[in-house]
Amino acid sequence: MATKFDVIVIGAGPAGYHAAIRSAQLGLNTAIVEKWLGKEGKPAYGGTCLNVGCIPSKALLEASHKYVDTRDHLGDMGIEVKGVKVDIPAVIARKDQVVSNLTSGVAGLLKSNGVTTFEGTAKLHAGREVAFTAHDGSTENLVADNVIVATGSVPVEIPPCPLTDELIVDSTGALDFLTAPKRLGVIGAGIIGLELGSVWSRFGSEVVLLEALEDFLPPADKQVAREAAKQFKKQGMDIRLGTRVTGTDIKGKQVTVTYTDSEGDKSEQFDKVIVAVGRRPYTEELLAADSGVTMDERGFIYVNETCLTDAPGVYAVGDVVRGPMLAHKGMEEGIMVAERIAGQMPLVNYDLVPSVVYTHPEIAWVGMTEQEVKAAGDEYEVGTFPMAASGRAMANNDTVGLVKVIADKATDRILGVHIIGNQASEMIAEAVIAMEFESSAEDLGLTMFAHPTLSEGLHEAALAVSGHAIHIANRKRKK
Ligand code: FAD
Ligand code: NAD
């Protein structure tokens, strides 16, 4: 006899644990199955995001930023600090502690919400039956009225760069270096390449990023991407675009990476290489032949706009389905599905998923880029505000970057907001809220922002759309 639940969630990453907790809040008898084993081989909740993704990378980004800021910039503010040193094993240990606090926090939240947890692997069969195999090999059959698949994603591996234990690693390996490699090669100058490249560059590595595309950071607005490339170059990161990696060769403790670019065949030697060329949906050993769940041509579980798969009562959310591979996108999908199961009618607004790159400066955006608006053939106005003109940025000794607001020319409705600068990750939330309420640039301009704040940059950029910004010279001033 199978143990029966209202909802079974497979995978306790951000998408899955949000789905489970919201289901339980709504009075549904909920179970979650999670197979992750943490560093000491202990079961761990939170998925990629908490264990080897968002949280550990941000812990390292913050530590490395504070190190560089203390060493190189506090002097500008009259604070004398001598002999600044970094103890990388201590940085890694603190990162691990943050991860462990959060993953056990998720376990506590599941428990306090009454979610039944199963630690091991789930396989989905027809009729929403789930075969559960515990870590000790014991098995149990579960069944539910609704199943939510949230099995996430794993790093893409490429044939020229097979991973090794120590020298050629993926993002997970790059969170645990105990010394900064002298020369670090990063394959892929996407979000992970830039974030983890920044971490190790700040801790002293000479970082070379080999990126296949000719374009730098194509999802971002071009003006912002240009500014970002300039800042990363200043920081010493060597970003080589249009490079095709053809192979790797290990001799002793050195990796030679061969690649071709517009000038022909080249090679570089590194002490370590990080492969960061994207992630792919993870569905291995998940679906029995009769599950009724289908995939799209890229291996994502096929779902409609409410995350329902082709199998009745089976939903899928997070990285394992189409859309950006971002924790907050998965969380909102998890909540939407739980509420739909409970009879409510929420939807996820896929047009307003914010993106953030947590480098320094941070890069954040929501909505359409100027290039996308132009390609759509819409008439538009742009307002930009350089952070160099912000009083708070000057007081903070951090004036790099800009805020850009794009609005429809006829209606003034905000179409996109693009920010590069300190705290862009926090400021972008204001833009998301404004756009969620279909605000015009004028609405933002009429809103009172506290002074002095970096957010005033968004206020001024919104005012600049109609030429009313106060702290910049306006060329298109209107009455
Ligand atoms: P996951 O977090 O991958 O969780 C899936 C879970 O399902 C895993 O715990 C897995 O063990 C479990 N599972 C899989 N199959 C089974 C099975 N058959 N039975 C039982 N359990 C199973 N996103 C952001 O939004 N912001 C960031 O700053 C950010 N930084 C990142 C940094 C790095 C280095 C990386 C790698 C990713 C980062 N991401 C970030 C992406 C983010 O981690 C993912 O988008 C997010 O974790 C996806 O959530 P998910 O719940 O869909 O899947
Ligand atoms: P990505 O898609 O952001 O970047 C991968 C880069 O590798 C791309 O620029 C691509 O052109 C390049 N590339 C692909 N194949 C290559 C090859 N053979 N040689 C050289 N370059 C190659 O992927 P990622 O950086 O691996 O991150 C994976 C996912 O994790 C992303 O989709 C992202 O959404 C998520 N993530 C998010 C954050 C965040 O929100 N701050 C941080 C890290 C990861």
Tell me the two tokens of residue 184. 């670090």
pLDDT, average across residues 15-36: 98
Q: Sorting pLDDT into bands at 50, 70 and 90, what band is 473?
A: confident
pLDDT above 70: percentage of residues in the chain: 99
Give me the pLDDT at residue 471, please.
Answer: 92
Strands 168-169, 116-125: parallel, antiparallel or unpaired by DSSP? Answer: unpaired
Strands 129-134, 264-270: parallel, antiparallel or unpaired by DSSP? Answer: unpaired
Each residue's pLDDT tens digit, 322-354: 999 999 999 999 999 999 999 999 999 999 999
Q: Sorting pLDDT into bands at 50, 70 and 90, what band is 478?
A: low
Distance 217 CA to ligand 2 centre (A): 9
Tell me the two tokens of residue 203. 């801790």
Give me the pLDDT at residue 13, please.
Answer: 98
Distance 151 CA to ligand 1 centre (A): 8
Predicted model pTM: 0.98
Measured between alpha carbons, how far is 316 from 304 in angstroms, rounded to an integer? 10
Measured between alpha carbons, how far is 333 from 315 in angstroms, rounded to an integer? 10
Strand ranges (E), 359-413: 362-367, 380-386, 402-408
* Averaged pLDDT of the chain: 97
Mutate to test the pocket of ligand 2, among 279, 322, 419 (most ligand atoms within 8 A of CB): 279
Domain boundaries of the chain, sorted by first residue: 3-155+280-350, 168-277, 361-478
Tell me the two tokens of residue 464. 């600049």
**CB of 241 sitting under 6 A from ligand 2:** no
**CB of 192 sitting under 6 A from ligand 1:** yes
CATH of 361-478, one of 3.90.1420.10, 3.30.43.10, 3.30.390.30, 3.40.50.300: 3.30.390.30
Each residue's pLDDT tens digit, 67-85: 999 999 999 999 999 999 9
Residue whose pair of structure tokens reads 């996820």 in the numeric block: 348
pLDDT reading at 477 higher than 60: no
Each residue's pLDDT tens digit, 367-408: 999 999 999 999 999 999 999 999 999 999 999 999 999 999
Residues 6+ apart with CB under 8 A from 449: 455, 456, 458, 459
Distance 153 CA to ligand 1 centre (A): 6
Each residue's pLDDT tens digit, 184-203: 999 999 999 999 999 999 99
Tell me the CB-side half-sphere exposure of residue 107, using CA atoms within 13 A.
15
H helix or E strand, kind and range, residue 108:
helix 88-112
pLDDT reading at 479 higher than 80: no
Tell me the two tokens of residue 21. 């907790």
Helix (H, G, I), strand (E, B) or coil at 235: coil
Mutate to test the pocket of ligand 1, among 32, 33, 50, 54 (most ligand atoms within 8 A of CB): 54
Residues in the chain: 479
Residue 291 φ/ψ, nearest 5 degrees = -65, -25
Tell me the two tokens of residue 304. 């409609």
CATH topology of domain 3-155+280-350: FAD/NAD(P)-binding domain (3.50.50)
Same topology between domain 168-277 and domain 361-478? no
Can you tell me which atom of ligand 1 is nearest the CA of 329?
Answer: 25
Class of the CATH domain delimited by 168-277 = alpha beta
Each residue's pLDDT tens digit, 195-253: 999 999 999 999 999 999 999 999 999 999 999 999 999 999 999 999 999 999 999 99
CB–CB of 2/143 below 8 Å? Answer: yes
Distance 65 CA to ligand 1 centre (A): 25
Strand ranges (E), 409-463: 414-421
Each residue's pLDDT tens digit, 123-147: 999 999 999 999 999 999 999 999 9
